[in-house]
Each structure stands twice: as structure tokens, then as C-alpha cells.
Structure 1
Amino acid sequence: MAEINVKEINLADIPQQQLKDLLDFPCAFTFKVVGKNRPDLMDDVVVTTQKYAKGDYKPREHISSKGTYNSISIDIIAENIEQVETLYTELAKIEGVRMVL
């Protein structure tokens, strides 16, 4: 099986204009939210996402091997850079969230 290299982009490391140049809006955009494993984490991610990007979402979750953490990936159609930045900020405010990628 071939190994796939995925490069993660940290918004804080990229000047806003450069990020705008990388994305052609509207576009598909995936947020990955990592937090403490708790029953309502996925629901909280969906509710927060729907506040800023209306839609029906089918998030994917992966619980760590020890059951301590949960990562939730959710795909949106981003309309503009401000929407992406707002969602990064708001998703990070959810109880128990450790990082948003």
C-alpha cells in the first residue's frame, strides 16, 4: 500500500492573504476537532458548525485506543475566509476541545 503524505496547514502560520490565495471560494473544507471523549462532543460540533454554515452534516469520529480522546471530522462548503476563521475560533470554544485542525 502506498503511503500518502498529508500536509496540515496551521492558519496562524499563514498570512491571511496567502490562505485566501490557496482557497477558491466556495470550496469544500474539512475541520477536525480533537477533544476529550464525552457523549455530546459530536452533537456540540454539529450544532456549532450549523450556526455558521447551514447544512446537513455527517461527521466522522474516531475514538482513541484508550477511549480518552475523540476526533471528529466535519466537511462544509466554505463561502469565504471569514467563515473558516470564525468556525476555527468557535469550534475551539467547545467544552473539552483540545485542538481544531
Structure 2
Amino acid sequence: MDTRFDELLDFPCHQTFKVMGIAHETLPDQVVSCLQQHAPSDDYAPTIRPSSKGNYHSVSIRVKVTSKEHMELIYTELAKLELVRYVL
């Protein structure tokens, strides 16, 4: 992944990741578990919003990222989760 995050952001910083996936009760836990592996924190507080038809959930979560590579790694790892369809 070759992004311009380092040109646009001053690291370390907080970034909100929005993960959209299949509406399943374990989606928020899977997102937090993935983040704990790559950016450990005790205060993750995901916000979950269902889609209009209820088939998908959007999980927004604020994460402290330390570098361009760290941010790219988080995007990549979240996208690998089975229930996830998009990471913004």
C-alpha cells in the first residue's frame, strides 16, 4: 500500500477508522480484537450504526496511530476480517 498519509498527517495522531461489515453480533468484538493486536489500548469505545435495512453495521473507532506504516497495517488487517466489507 502506497499512501500519502505521511504528507497529510503529523504522527503520532488519532484517526477514526470506519469499518463496514455484515450485521453480526461479533463484528465490533472482532474489530477491537484486531486493533488490540496492532495498537493496544484500554479505552476503545466503538460506535455501531446499523444500515437502513439492517443487513450491515458500521463500526467507528478512534485509534492512536504512530506512523504511515502503522496506519496502512491497520487498514490491511481490518480488511482481512471475514465479516468486513469496507474499511474507511
Q: Which residue of 2 aligns with 1:3?
A: none
RMSD after superposition: 1.2
Q: Greater strand share, 1 or 2? A: 2
Residue identity opposite 2:15 in structure 1: F
Q: Tell me, in whole angstroms, the C-alpha distance in 1 between the residues paired with 2:86 and 2:59.
A: 11
List 4+ stretches of structure 1 deviating above 3 A.
none
Post-superposition offset of 1:19? 2.3
Alignment correspondent of 1:82: 69
Which residue pairs with 1:20 in the alignment? 6
| Identity level (%) | 47
Matched, 1:51 2:37: yes
Structure 1: which 5+ runs fail to align? 1-11
Give the alignment's TM-score, normalised by structure 2: 0.92
When normalised by structure 1's length, the TM-score is 0.81
Q: Distance in 1 between matches of 2:75 and 2:56?
A: 19
User: Looking at CA atoms only, which structure, 1 or 2, has the larger radius of gyration?
Assistant: 1
**Hey, what's the Cα distance between the residues in 1 that align with 2:26 and 2:5?**
32
What is the number of residues matched between the two proteins?
Answer: 87
